[in-house]
Chains A and B, each alone.
Chain A
């Protein structure tokens, strides 16, 4: 499978990464080289093979459904580029 520039633009939009028109052809070439290389996986017979969900054959631990952390609003917003009164500030999203 290969991607056209329109698809690259769509993927970039989904990934929320701005890509300029000038960058598109180079990106398209790189992505297609990778996609072409992974194409060899098509030759493997995977009929009746279950997809791997965990490499370690163990049950995950369960814990009591109780609050174990919290009450640290200063820590939570300590690294925010813009914050106000323990809220993250973003550009206006509701008109």
Chain B
């Protein structure tokens, strides 16, 4: 049955409907694969009994002919999504033992459509990190290894568990979230497809908040088609999140049938950063050539404020995080560390509960919001955000989408990057998209000299995920899909 886990979501859907195999068989195949892959540390909680029960229900529906769009599809869920009665910890000690009494809207949408959950996936603590090394459950291991060294590599972050689980076939597809690159960067480093939708496309309700004006949920999947199928179920207006947008959710899968002839693709010169590795530059040129071969028009554009996006992000995101994370005080949920009085209880709880990266960001956020600094830092950063958004607004009069590399390089080894600012630079190509609220997709573009996945990023107009999927599919058909050699079992 091991080969069942090799199938894409579209293939699984077909196989279940034709009766080639049952949801129960599929779930057992995944459980066996997960049990052999514990060394990758992708799952932080397994919910196999519930998965088996849901598979039985799905098999009954498939037999009755009442199958829903994702009937019997086994998914992995990032630990940031609240799942009723099930481990939800944002991979932080401070949420130890938390079991929500409610379900996030995105996961509820997936269950409404018949999908089932195999377990909760590892991630950087509170989604703060680019290597999955800040998780209180320890790092996730990338299924990919370089040719030069037989050493473990990081899967990227913060959705490192989601990316590894999809790349290593430990679920059909996974939910993830992206505040500065946390879907696209790990997808890029693991040879998977990751889409961050337009801000407002998916409800944030029931997702542990990091930076509310930047956070968006999206899928990590085996290929572009699977990501399109996933997003259709995940997206939609939700009265519980006033920032979710009341727009019809298109049939993204149907959009894939259209070619890309006549699409205008922008190449922003400011993304040609200093010291860009030659293989990233070559990947970028290759990507443009692929799109041109398929009838797209390549246009040089300028996004002049690009270089300010990352430092401005490191004001806005920590500021919002310091506010959002104020709720973890040892009173209502999670960890409590006693103190002499209520304030020392707060201080002890938060000192023990937050890891070093979260603490660093809460302190930066507190500082930039504090009296006397608010205008110099926070207000200035939000003004720069206006300029970044304006750059894109102007670009949309010349192009339909923008092509860039997804990351400045391939996966690295745990412990390789210890300087916080150097780690932040992993998101240099992805963070502008969050600052402007736009949709972005990372699609594999080939292997590095060392045999590791590299990816291209496409950025689209607000709510135009369809064009991203179409162009993503074009890149995929040229580059081919990447599958990690299985060394762990």
Task: Identify which of B246, B354, B362 contacts A61 (C-beta below 8 A).
Answer: B246
B245 engages A17 (CB within 8 Å): no
Task: Identify which of A37, A55, A81 contacts B437 (C-beta below 8 A).
Answer: A55
B332 within 8 A of partner (CB): yes
A44 engages B101 (CB within 8 Å): no
What string of 1s and 0s marks CB contacts (under 8 Å) between B372-387 and chain A?
A: 0100110111111111
B347 within 8 A of partner (CB): yes
Docked CA distance A17–B384 (Å): 30
**Interface range for A:** 35 or more
Given A8-B363, A51-B379, A56–B198 Cβ distance below 8 Å? yes
B367 within 8 A of partner (CB): yes
B333 engages A14 (CB within 8 Å): no
Smallest CB gap from B359: residue in A: A17
From residue 75 to 131 of chain B, which have CB atoms closer than 8 A to chain A?
97-102
A52 engages B385 (CB within 8 Å): yes
Task: Identify which of B245, B329, B335 contacts A58 (C-beta below 8 A).
Answer: B245
B339 within 8 A of partner (CB): yes
Note all chain B residues with C-beta closer than 8 A to A42: 380
B205 within 8 A of partner (CB): no
A40 engages B99 (CB within 8 Å): no
A61 engages B331 (CB within 8 Å): no
A67 within 8 A of partner (CB): no
A84 within 8 A of partner (CB): no
Given A30-B360, A33-B419, A51-B379, A16–B97 Cβ distance below 8 Å? no
B242 within 8 A of partner (CB): yes
Given A8-B363, A49-B386, A16–B346 Cβ distance below 8 Å? yes
What string of 1s and 0s marks CB contacts (under 8 Å) between B335-375 and chain A?
A: 11011111111111011001000011011101100100100
Smallest CB gap from A53: residue in B: B382
Docked CA distance A14–B360 (Å): 14
Note all chain B residues with C-beta closer than 8 A to A1: 373, 376
Number of A-B contacts (CB under 8 A): 162
Note all chain A residues with C-beta closer than 8 A to B347: 16-18
A34 engages B421 (CB within 8 Å): yes
Separation in Å of the B266 CB from the closest CB of chain A? 19
Separation in Å of the A61 CB from the closest CB of chain B? 6
Note all chain A residues with C-beta closer than 8 A to B360: 27, 30-31, 34
A61 engages B239 (CB within 8 Å): yes
A93 within 8 A of partner (CB): yes
Which of B27-35, B307-315, B406-414, B451-459 makes up part of the contact surface? Answer: B307-315
A82 within 8 A of partner (CB): yes
Docked CA distance A78–B330 (Å): 14
Smallest CB gap from B379: residue in A: A51
Given A41-B384, A50-B383, A63-B239, A17–B363 Cβ distance below 8 Å? yes
Given A11-B367, A80-B332, A46–B246 Cβ distance below 8 Å? no
B245 engages A56 (CB within 8 Å): yes
Most buried by A among B340, B367, B377, B462: B367
Task: Identify which of B308, B366, B419 contacts A11 (C-beta below 8 A).
Answer: B366
Note all chain B residues with C-beta closer than 8 A to A66: none
Given A52-B382, A52-B383, A41–B308 Cβ distance below 8 Å? yes
B346 engages A14 (CB within 8 Å): no
Q: Which residues from chain A sit less than 8 Å from chain B, CB to CB?
A: 1, 3, 7-8, 11-12, 14-19, 27, 30-31, 33-35, 37-38, 40-42, 44, 46, 49-58, 60-61, 63, 72, 75, 77-82, 88, 90-93
Q: Which residues from chain B sit less than 8 Å from chain A, CB to CB?
A: 97-102, 198-200, 213, 239, 242-243, 245-246, 305, 307-308, 311-312, 314-315, 322, 326, 329-336, 338-348, 350-351, 354, 359-360, 362-364, 366-367, 370, 373, 376-377, 379-387, 389, 419-421, 435-437, 462
The 3 A-B residue pairs whose C-beta atoms are closest, nearest first, are A55-B437, A51-B382, A81-B336
Given A34-B314, A46-B380, 16 other A-B residues pairs in contact with their CB atoms under 8 A: A11-B366, A11-B370, A14-B366, A16-B346, A17-B351, A37-B314, A38-B314, A42-B380, A51-B379, A51-B382, A55-B389, A79-B333, A80-B333, A81-B330, A88-B331, A92-B342
